Structure 1
Amino acid sequence: MTTFTLRPPVRAGEAVAAGRQRERIRVAAVAVGCVAVCLLIGLQRFRQLQLGGFDLGLFDQAIRAYARFELPRSLIKSVHHGFPPEFSLLGDHFSPVLALAAPFYWLWDDPRVLLLVQSLLFGAGVPVVARLVRRECGKAVGPRALSWLVLGFCLVYGCGAALFYASRAGFHEVAFAVPLFLLLFERARARAYGRATAAALLLCLTKEDLGLSVGIFGAVLALRAHRAGDRAGARAGGALLVLGPLASLAAIVVVIPAMGGDARFYWQYSELGASASEALVHVVLHPLDTLRAALTPSAKALLLLWTFGSLLFLPLRSALTLCALPLLAERVFSDNGNHWQALHHYGAFVWPILVAASIETTGRMARGWERERAAAAAKWAAGLAAGITLFGVLISGSWHIVLPSHWQRDAHQEAALTAVGRIPDGVTVEADNNLAPRLTRRTRVMILDLLPRNAEWVLLDTTRKAFPFPDAQAQKDRLRLLRASGYTVAYESRGVVLLRRASPGVVVPGSVEQGRGDLPGHDTADIRVFG
């Protein structure tokens, strides 16, 4: 005889609550996965000596100074670019938000703590993306389809190639910009304008140019709020429209020079003019030439194609994309070819903007369809999201973290680490760019550059080109000069040479003291990896 057990019917509210709980678990899993992958990418690069003094080492020195309640000074930055010893990074880029990373040094005194901080900040954007999707698409599709959309966009954001490339490059202030942009958009969409303004303020404290994006968002918010009859939103948008650009102007014209920097320090836009005012006049009077400059050489056009094509051009249907224009313009009009590539951290600045714009476009499209059609489209969108995610993982090379061979060091790298270990604590060192982060915690380290600095110890590699040298031969020439000037070899293996100054009176021909050197615009060599 068969016995049947009757289960009580599941109430609709309970089913919805269970679905939301499963969604939260999936979102949390994506966030944890984003943190883990980004961190492993950075740790793998650090282990293989592929993260350099520019930029991990200089940020380590600066934020370590914050942890001691000092100004963010970096010997790597100030020496290489000819600044006086008291120069702080606030005179380079206005990024006081970096002080928020200082407490992590009280827990782990190591440059790799910054890789952890950046990974946590990237992962923090995942739940914000989930909230954005719910706000934009929640009324257009059913709970099940919405859950798929949430998961899809969380994967697209959290596994985006832009975040993985930034992780490969080490640590930068972009770590704070990514979640702050998302928080700005999400809080404004929720009409929590006080918190949105707080996020905008932190963005202005992340980098001096981000106030321009804040201002553009203010204009978008004010216009939309005015049309919707939302007076509070219109006031908040108007405030951001004015305060964002003013914050950028104040940082560039007042604060950076006051901290020992130069407002023209990073002006590298010769095709537009010698200053911002000349560039503006050129853009207005010569639009066709401006368009030509933005698209040639072809690497610039490919960059734009990749930037928008990787999200199926969905951002182009949202006004939020206007917030990315200043950041993209800085890259395509730059004289620096590194800015035209997707391989560095620059793309991570615009990634949250374009993801939010894609979500907004998806929500608008879904609201224009019938509920059943929107639900079917949501499932297709989730499938496309999975494809985009897989593409990002493959194109960025992040899958290398699962290969044991990519965690192993070769004999040349081991020789370099042996040389690092023979340098005493507390001494002054000129070091190969990609070995400098190994010394920032316990020595006064600067990168070995084109000008000798008469340091107590010098660590160089004669086998491979290192930034900022034009080739390996230039490093061999430096070795001969140092030995001829009275430096003695303390260790040598597989082309890695550690030298010690024989006496304090040794002066290398052509050497300079701190405060006299090159300016950033004079750096013409690309930054190359050690391994």
Structure 2
Amino acid sequence: MHAPPSDVAAALPPQQQSGPTGRSEPEPAGGARAASDWWIRAMAGALFLAYATVSLHVHGHLLSHSFDLGIFVQAVRSYAGGHLPVSEIKGPDFPVLGDHFSPVLALLAPPYRLWPSVRMLLVAQAALVAVSLLPLAFWARRTLGTPAAAVISACYGLSWGLASAVAFDFHEWAFAVPLLTCSLAALGSGRMRAAAYWALPLVLVKEDLGITVAVIGLLIAWRGGRAERRLGLATAAAGLAATAVCVTLVIPAFHPGGFHGYFASHNPGGEGAGGSGGGALELLHQVTLGLITPQEKVTTLILVLAPTLFLALRSPLALVALPTMLWRFGSSYAPHWGTGYHYSMLVMPVVFAAFIDALHRRGTSGRSLGRYLAGCAAVTLLLLPHYPLWQVVQPSTYRADPRLAVADRMMALIPDGATVQASDGLVPHLADRTSVSLYGWEDSRRDPQWIMVDTLVAPQYRWPLSSMDEQIALAAARAGGYVPAAERAGFVLLKRAI
């Protein structure tokens, strides 16, 4: 999913490569270049370990979720089994391509066959995000010099948007991150054809990313010559066409409810998005004042741009983030507006690429460059303790929890292939070998063979049932023929008697 480092490093021909002073710098060749680049690979490796540590810690402490990690592992498990992806969590035999068009997940089928574990997805995501640093680092080194590249790369890798994403399950967007950095680095370096080639596969990551491809295509047309203008317009047209075909034809064809069922479940003002509807007036509000209200949206926008000291706004590359920010802030689903979850994963590559581009286009050097870099580092370090990567240096991250061993032993009592309903945090741990769905979710398969519930889930992690509703449901299950198989440390395992 990424170019070899030597290819990415050659983003500019030697006569166009400039350091902090704006003068052309000779390009080391062969082994000398590899030796000078060791710190970039080392930084990417260190970030991979940090991302994987945080992600596996969250999962290991039963804090990963059915939506989304459980769904994705069921989809990948389907591909590894040689058939189109289905997710029991979304509904009995629900076709995942009827929800979102993400065929790129099939690339995880071979490694999943070698390591059939949900942890493989988390490690793969950590690797994809860490690899995305390489094109930005090589580009920054050639245009701004090694010290600037080191600071910008570290700030990108430690940015809060990436930290939030790797700490919240797995998402198909992980494939988009290295594609975006490769495309934007090529675009900023004047390699328009490479920028288009790296951008086009984004349409296989998720259906809406065709609009992002279209913006990249328009930037290629704007910044290139006559030949590049045709290439850019063709890229933009391909991106828009891919989104239109996916949304109007492909996904509805897979959705059990067809065209109307798909759009009802993804209506921004409807139940599927967490809204209550409101007709044309609400839609008008969402695309005007609703883009900056409530205040949480403005706060998120400030935090997105703050690590670059808002200099990213001086680069046209910042426009690539516009489609993502518009659908997020135009949504009526409140989690889209904030800094949590994975929703800023695709924004971080764009703002840091725009930062590099803005510094280079302005010819920033010397003390001026040093001030920008110091500010970028200061903001990143100021935000770091408030986001999940801080867990890497916390001793509590590495302490064993006796409850986790109890949960593992109780889940081991459930045979492979059984139908199960389980609490949200338990679902991903069972998705590798059972047909598991979410306990208390209205679309879950009825009358499963097993039920496993964690009754001690903290209120902020409890979903979809409240503690009282959960107790009522468990009592009803016992009355309906389920018998206790084990009950310990707050975990309840029930087995259907018949």
Instruction: Describe the superposition over 1:245-296 as per-residue Cα deviations: whole angstroms up to 9, x where unpaired.
Output: 11111111111011126144322246x9x9xxx87x988xx6x874321122
Normalising by the residue count of structure 2, what TM-score does the alignment of the two structures yield? 0.86
Letter in 2 for 1:133: A
TM-score in terms of structure 1 length:
0.81
Q: Map of 1:336-355 to 2, 5 A cutoff?
A: 336-355=333-352
Show the counterpart of 2:67: 54
Cα distance, 1:307 vs. partner? 1.3
- CA displacement at 1:461 relative to structure 2: 2.2
Question: Residue 435 of structure 2 is aligned with which of 441, 444, 469?
Answer: 444
1:460 and 2:453 matched: yes
Structure 2 SS opposite 1:488:
strand
Secondary structure, aligned partner of 2:211: helix
For residues 280-359 of structure 1, the aligned pairs below 5 Å read 290-359=287-356
Alignment partner, residue 143 of structure 1: none
Alignment partner, residue 408 of structure 2: 417
Cα 1:350/1:463, change in 2 over 3 Å: same
SS state at 1:434 partner: coil
Letter in 1 for 2:59: F
Q: Which among 89, 95, 103 is matched to residue 88 of structure 1?
A: 95
Gaps of 5+ in 1: 1-11, 80-84, 139-145, 504-531
1:384-423 aligned at under 5 Å gives the runs: 384-423=375-414
Find the residue that maps to 1:341 and give its secondary structure. Answer: coil
Q: Which whole-Å CA distance do the structure 2 matches of 1:71 and 1:415 have between them? A: 35
- Alignment-derived partner of residue 127 in structure 2: 120
Partners of 1:216 and 1:32 lie apart in 2 by 31
Asked if 2 retains the 8 angstrom alpha-carbon contact of 1:469 and 1:475, the reply is no
Deviation larger for 153-162 or 478-487: 153-162
Corresponding residue of 2:7: none
CA distance, structure 1, for counterparts of residue 84 and residue 287 of structure 2: 40
Q: Kindly indicate whether residue 78 of structure 2 is the aligned counterpart of residue 65 of structure 1.
A: yes
Task: Pick closer, same or farther for the CA change 1:154–1:415 going to 2, 3 Å.
Answer: same
1:110 to 103, 109, 117: 117
Check the 8 A contact 1:47/1:407 in 2, yes or no.
Answer: no
Q: CA deviation at 1:220?
A: 1.9
Aligned CA RMSD, in angstroms, stands at 2.7
Identity of paired residues, percent? 33
In structure 1, the residue matched to 2:149 is 150
Unmatched 5+ stretches in structure 2: 1-24, 257-261
Q: Displacement of 1:486 after TM fit?
A: 1.1
Counterpart residue identity of residue 123, structure 1 = A
C-alpha contact (below 8 Å) 2:156/2:349 kept by paired residues: yes
Number of residue pairs aligned between Structure 1 and Structure 2? 461
User: For 1:394 and 1:289, how far apart are their aligned partners in 2?
Assistant: 33
Give the conservation status (yes or no) of the 8 Å contact 2:440–2:465. Answer: no
What corresponds to 1:3 in structure 2?
none
- Bigger Rg, which one: 1
Residue equivalent to 1:266: 266
CA contact (8 A) 2:309 2:375 kept: no
State the alpha-carbon separation in 2 of the partners of residues 15 and 486 from structure 1. Answer: 74
Alignment of 1:139-178 (within 5 A): 146-178=145-177
The alpha-carbon deviation at position 349 of structure 1 amounts to 1.4
Q: Secondary structure at the match of 2:463?
A: coil
> How many Å apart are 1:477 and its aligned residue?
0.8
Q: Which residue of 1 aligns with 2:204?
A: 205
Deviation at 1:337, TM superposition (A): 1.3
- Which residue of structure 1 lines up, in the alignment, with residue 179 of structure 2? 180
Distance 2:441 2:428 in 1: 19
Task: From 18, 29, 49, give the equivalent of 1:36.
Answer: 49
- Identify the residue that residue 473 of structure 1 maps to in structure 2: 468
Secondary structure (helix, strand or coil) at the match of 2:345 reads helix
C-alpha separation in 2, matches of 1:289 and 1:412: 45
Deviation for aligned residue 1:150 = 1.2
Residue 432, structure 1, aligned to residue 423, structure 2: yes
Residue 382 of structure 1: CA displacement? Answer: 3.5
Secondary structure of residue in 1 paired with 2:132: helix
Q: 1:385 to 1:29 in 2, by over 3 A?
A: farther
Distance in 1 (CA, whole Å) between partners of 2:467 and 2:55 is 26
Q: Deviations over 1:13-48 (max 9, x none)?
A: 799999855541111111111111111111111111
Displacement after TM superposition at 1:107 (Å) = 2.4
